[in-house]
Structure 1
Amino acid sequence: MKRLVLAATLSLFAASAFAAPLSYKLDPNHTNVIAQWSHFGFSNPSLNFGQAAGTLVYDADEVSASSVEVTLPLSGLDSFVADFDQHLKSADFFDAAKFPAATFKSTRVEAAGDGRLKVTGDLTIKGITKPVVLDVTLNKAAEHPMAKRPAIGFDASATIKRSDFDLAMYVPNVSDEVKLRITTEAMVPKPDTAQ
């Protein structure tokens, strides 16, 4: 009988530990933040904000306790055209020498249906901060088969205006609206490291 009580107690403890909020570190090798816009109506180019770094806290039982904070170093910006990369980093656009990173910090996380979330947060580009709402889909939360640690993956999307962040060159011929598509994996760090 004592063994059964002990087993039941351990099971409840394990279940509550698994359900507790977990803090994950973004994996930059499996995170893409893609921006896409219309170029005079002829094409829809895109760029990737690479080398994303950040922390994600997810609480499946109390979604509102979840949060995300991300830094996007502009050194990782890649439009797939080297000359254009340099123009984007210039004072005409991101002014990366003065503002070397963009950031996003959540202010509210809400459930939006099965496996879906709405994440409201502050996006800061060129020192200008504006609220943005991300429509988020939870792809998977499980032990990563290679790392043998808890991992989580999300996709997200949003639309922002370049003019809100002093990036309005060539508007309206080059669209003011920019579509953002995000996919990310994040893992619980190893206990003995910051990675």
Structure 2
Amino acid sequence: MAWQIDTVHTHLGFSVKHLMVSTVRGQFKKYSGTLKLDAADFTRSVIEGSVEVASIDTENKDRDAHLRTNDFFDAPNHPLITFKSKRITAKGGSEYAVVGDLTIRGVTREVPFEVEFNGTAKSPYGHTATGLSAKATINRHDFGVSFNKTLETGGVIIGDKVKLELELEAIEVPDAVDPAALAGKGARPAQASTR
């Protein structure tokens, strides 16, 4: 079965340490993705998506503008972050390990995600939805995001580890329809659901 990410009910969040004493959280607001779910065996499913780097939002316009520059994501030259799963392993119950290629700033690394498959549900508005919760931790230096400054205390402004926390909801689309085509040329498709 093919599914299109519902941008109304999906959240792509991240967090990183600031000054080593607090945590800054943010999200990406424009993205698209497709799930090819095997109803009989989730481990044979495929998950892929792309995120528009310029849509980063940490609730601070100056910081967001800095994050788009070459110091961090270099959005003008690398406008998209992409992910495509390579293998899925069952861990028991509804939990799975999903390993895939994550590309940031043109650098691709294998990243393992801890994923919980939340099942499917029929919406009162007529569509069928499925949900996944996913989390992972990456080292930003592995992707060439290396900007930092040293503090007088010996610490650094920004932590190396970035936690990714994703809540994904997708809407089933007819098998005859290519979900990627629904997304158009941009990173974000038309909203799959407004309710």
Shared fold, TM over 0.5: yes
Alpha-carbon distance in 2 for matches of 1:62, 1:154 = 15
Provide Cα deviations, 1:43-83, integer angstroms capped at 9, x if missing partner: 10011012220101111312221010110011221111011
How do 1:82-121 and structure 2 match up within 5 A? 82-121=61-100
Give the whole-Å Cα distance in 1 for the aligned partners of 2:72 and 2:54. Answer: 14
Q: Is the strand fraction higher in 1 or 2?
A: 2
Q: Secondary structure in 2 aligned to 1:44?
A: strand
Match of residue 159 from structure 2: 175
Provide Cα deviations, 1:159-189, integer angstroms capped at 9, x if missing partner. Answer: 0001001112117612101111000100012
- Determine which structure has greater relative contact order: mean sequence separation of CA pairs < 8 Å that are 6+ residues apart, divided by chain length: 2
Corresponding residue number in structure 1 for 2:6: 27
Per the normalisation by structure 2, the TM-score is 0.83
Match of 1:166 in 2: 144
Unmatched runs of 5 consecutive residues or more in structure 1: 1-21
1:93-131 deviations in whole A, cap 9, x for unaligned?
000000001000000012111111111000000000000
1:4-153 pair list within 5 angstroms: 22-146=1-125, 148-153=126-131
CA distance in 2, matches of 1:186, 1:63: 15
Name the aligned partner's letter for residue 40 of structure 1.
L
Distance 2:63 2:26 in 1: 10
Q: How far apart are the structure 2 equivalents of 1:139 and 1:180?
A: 18
CA displacement at 1:32 relative to structure 2: 1.2
Q: Tell me the C-alpha RMSD between the 2 structures.
A: 1.7
Aligned length: 173
Q: Cα offset for 1:92? A: 0.7
8 Å Cα contact 2:71-2:146 kept in structure 1: no
Q: CA deviation at 1:42?
A: 2.2
Q: Pick which of 48-57 and 128-137 moved more.
A: 48-57
For residues 36 and 75 of structure 1, the distance between their equivalents in structure 2, rounded to whole angstroms, comes to: 17
In the alignment, the residues of structure 2 paired with residue 31 and residue 56 of structure 1 have an alpha-carbon distance, to the nearest angstrom, of: 13
> In structure 2, what residue type is equivalent to 1:55?
T
1:71–1:101 CA contact under 8 A, matched in 2: yes
- Is contact 1:120-1:132 (8 Å) kept? yes
Letter in 1 for 2:170: A
CA contact (8 A) 1:94 1:126 kept: yes
Percentage identity across aligned positions? Answer: 34
Whether 1:156 aligns to 2:140 is: no
